[in-house]
Chains A and B, each alone.
Chain A
Amino acid sequence: MASAAKRLEAVPGMPAPQIAFDGVTLVLGGKTIIENLSLGVRPGEFLCIVGASGCGKTTALRLAAGLYQPTNGKVNFDGQPMGEPRREIAIVFQDYGKALLPWRTAAGNVSLALEAGGMPSAERPARIEELLRTVGLPGHAGKYPSEMSGGMQQRLQIARCLAQEPKTLLMDEPFGALDAMTRQGLQDEVLSLVAASGATVIFVTHDLDEAIYLGDRVIGLLPHPGRIGIELSVNLPRPRDQLSTREHPEFLRLRRQLFDFIKATEQ
């Protein structure tokens, strides 16, 4: 265990990774989903994972969350073996409708994370209000999830994840089910939230433009079994802007490269 951590720290010129996959293979039901995946995510980095469906990108995220344990290899968090899921790692699921408690109001859903963190009940209301304001839901504290739009529900889920005060935020196609306008708004909000909190992010998406727009680095996975096919550093200035960033020559170059890669994997 210690030797693996040492080895990963020993890479010269790089800060120690917060999340490190070391030769990870996952076999589920006799099928190899991910094979020999090695990957380090630096603290504060925004990593996007893309790939055709069935390439195991969601599975990789679940391994990073501790929801799956690798069949072979190791997943380390801050140099320690991952083990079970932990509060320092928050997960934003794609299906917000299933991940929220329908019997709790918006405030109650955020409260769930605070209760789990052991915050005294007297301190919770102020924190809940603050978090709901942060994600743009002030004045909706008393609403049930079913009374909110999809975009609002996803904001609520993000608020609950922020209530965990996570070091790492794992996002599984969080905007996949939302319309284009809502999606762009939320992309910018996530970027500013992450910049403010300094959290490390692994963001899974099938939207290549989204991956480049958000990420510091984009990894493209090859399917059957899942493994890294391409790795791109995104050297676009921050803060990013929906218009100028997307028109930047570097953005267009990366977009071309990523599209060609995905096209090749689908043949």
Chain B
Amino acid sequence: MNRAALLWRVASFAVAAGFIALWQLIANLKLVSPVFLPGPDRAWASLVRGFSSGDLWSKLAGTLEHMAYGWLAASIAGIAIGAIIGSSRTMRTYVAPSLEFLRPLPVSAIIPVAIAMLGLTQAMALFVISFGAIWPIMLATIHGFGAVEPRLYEVARSLQMSRLAVIFKIALPSASPDILAGMRLSLTVALILSVVCEILAGLDGLGHWVLLSARAFRSADLFAGVILLGITGYVTSVAMSLAEHRLLAWQAAQR
């Protein structure tokens, strides 16, 4: 890392530290009642307590599990369906209007439908999370498969490659930058919907923890949960970026 980049990094940490200090100041001056707003010191203490007693670990694990299963299901289904639709112009023409209708539909609107059909169960959560997370992946895959260089298909034809080989050696790698970008967007969607499902269905996880803490006026625990959710979102997104960087090393060479 060069000097300038290091300086920016230090500055960004300073800003974050400034916000925490401000938060502490507001809490100390009791501008907001401590019942609703704990200081960072109390939130931190609650985090430490939660982890040492093991409660928060299991909640975190629950949320990560919901998120991961929903996201993986969405990825597999999204890439498969997107590939089928994207690799055929006819399919794109016929299916695209239906997708345009379904896509802007708020996922929260289908939660009652899912609850009615599946009950307050893990299956309902899995369905809702993957339904919400599938869109960015599927639409990115359709776009990626539709944008494969036609010349490469001619190369494949002259090499008499099988249909399967064309998909795995030409279309999928060509669409991979789009697909990975879609998967990164979906990661955030999956986290949001995991929390929503935990709150609505009382499933074990950070969402449920936050809800119970709020109801019991345990503001420090509430904030600990919120902070942990923020960290979860940040860490998973950084991990995804690293994976993207590795998988798309050939693109870095292009610039």
Binding site for B on A (CB under 8 A): 65-67, 84-87, 89-91, 93, 95, 98-99, 101-104, 112-113, 115-117, 144, 146-147, 164
The answer to whether A101 touches B170, judged by C-beta atoms less than 8 angstroms apart, is yes
Find chain B residues with CB under 8 A from A91 CB. 154-155, 158
Partner of B158, one of A85, A103, A146, A147: A85
A-B contact count (CB 8 A): 68
13 example contacts (A-B, Cβ-Cβ < 8 A) are as follows A65-B158, A67-B158, A85-B157, A85-B160, A86-B158, A86-B160, A87-B158, A93-B151, A98-B151, A102-B250, A115-B169, A146-B254, A164-B159
Assuming the contacts A84-B157, A93-B151, asked whether A116 and B254 have C-beta atoms less than 8 A apart, the reply is no
Interface of B is mostly: helix
Give complex CA distance A2, B158 in Å: 25
Q: Tell me the nearest residue of chain A to B174, going by C-beta.
A: A103
Find chain B residues with CB under 8 A from A102 CB. 250-251, 254
Q: Mark B169-195, 1 if CB is under 8 A from A, else 0.
A: 110011010000000000000000000
Binding site for A on B (CB under 8 A): 149, 151-152, 154-155, 157-161, 165, 169-170, 173-174, 176, 250-251, 253-254
Give complex CA distance A31, B152 in Å: 26
Q: How far is the CB of A142 from chain B (nearest CB, A)?
A: 11
Assuming the contacts A103-B174, A103-B250, A144-B254, asked whether A67 and B154 have C-beta atoms less than 8 A apart, the reply is yes
Give complex CA distance A85, B149 in Å: 18
Interface of A is mostly: loop
Give complex CA distance A101, B158 in Å: 15
Assuming the contacts A67-B154, A93-B151, A98-B152, asked whether A116 and B250 have C-beta atoms less than 8 A apart, the reply is no
Give complex CA distance A144, B251 in Å: 9
Q: How far is the CB of B253 from chain A (nearest CB, A)?
A: 4
Find chain B residues with CB under 8 A from A144 CB. 250, 253-254
The 6 A-B pairs of least Cβ separation, nearest first, read A116-B159, A98-B151, A146-B254, A144-B253, A85-B158, A103-B250
The answer to whether B152 touches A99, judged by C-beta atoms less than 8 angstroms apart, is yes
Q: Tell me the nearest residue of chain A to B169, going by C-beta.
A: A112
The answer to whether B250 touches A99, judged by C-beta atoms less than 8 angstroms apart, is no
Give complex CA distance A91, B159 in Å: 10
Find chain A residues with CB under 8 A from B251 CB. 102-103
The answer to whether A89 touches B158, judged by C-beta atoms less than 8 angstroms apart, is yes
Find chain B residues with CB under 8 A from A115 CB. 165, 169
